[in-house]
Amino acid sequence: MSKLRPGDHRAYMELALDLARKSPPKPTNYRVGAVIVDLASNDILATGYTLELPGNTHAEQCCFMKLAEQYGVPEKRLSEVLPSALALYTTVEPCSKRLSENLPCVERVIRLAGSIKAVYVGIVEPETFVSNNTGKQTLQAAGISVVHVPGLGSEILAVATAGHIE
């Protein structure tokens, strides 16, 4: 995958937003894009978007599933094989609760706290499906920095909520 300038958080968020646009608009989910970057090499290790893979998948979950396949390990063992300094860019704050049977994205990120040093978000999760998302606080309590990337909020929200009934 192509490289962007190290530390160009807006460019990585724009890439995640482009990915979110690939997600099918539905009234029951947010269209989210995610990118995982190796901070040492500035390589993009994985990308994902909502419903990219089967199973009512979220963008972050798709990234982790792809990495697990790439490294040949179950997702829950990714911490054993990933580089030690990663950043996760996601257009919407990772979910702290899933209404489906899937593991919340915050818990998936925390399993990789030894590798994921920072989560960059475009917007906090709207309260449409789950009120009081505690994603940011939970990640910070686990030692993972959560950083807002400003400037794309209204565009991210419009993409995220496309297909919702008003």
The string of pLDDT tens digits covering residues 69-94 is: 999 999 999 999 999 999 999 999 99
Q: Is the dihedral of CA 138, 142, 144, 145 positive or negative?
A: positive
Residue percentage of the chain with pLDDT more than 70: 93
| pLDDT score of 3 more than 90 | no
Run of H or E residues at 7: none
Domain formed by 9-160, architecture: 3-Layer(aba) Sandwich (3.40)
| Annotation says 60 is catalytic | yes
Q: Give me the residue label for tokens 């593991």.
A: 103
pLDDT category at 28 given cuts 50, 70, 90 is confident
Q: Which residues are paired to 146 by β-bridges?
A: 119
Angstrom distance (rounded) from CA 136 to CA 118: 11
| pLDDT score of 2 more than 80 | no
Angstrom distance (rounded) from CA 133 to CA 123: 12
- Structure confidence by residue, pLDDT tens digits, 132-150: 678 889 999 999 999 999 9
Residues 14, 52, 60, 93: which is the catalytic one?
A: 60
- Torsion angle of C-alpha atoms 77, 81, 86, 109, degrees rounded to 10: 0
Which string of DSSP letters, residue by residue, matches 24-60? Answer: PP-TTS---EEEEEETTTTEEEEEEETTSSTTT--HH
Angstrom distance (rounded) from CA 67 to CA 79: 11
| pLDDT score of 131 more than 80 | no
Q: What's the confidence (pLDDT) of residue 119?
A: 97
Once rounded to an integer, what is the mean pLDDT over residues 56-66?
96
Domains of the chain, residue spans:
9-160
Q: What's the confidence (pLDDT) of residue 124?
A: 83
Q: What's the confidence (pLDDT) of residue 135?
A: 83
Angstrom distance (rounded) from CA 124 to CA 160: 11
Mean pLDDT (the chain) is 91
Once rounded to an integer, what is the mean pLDDT over residues 125-133?
62
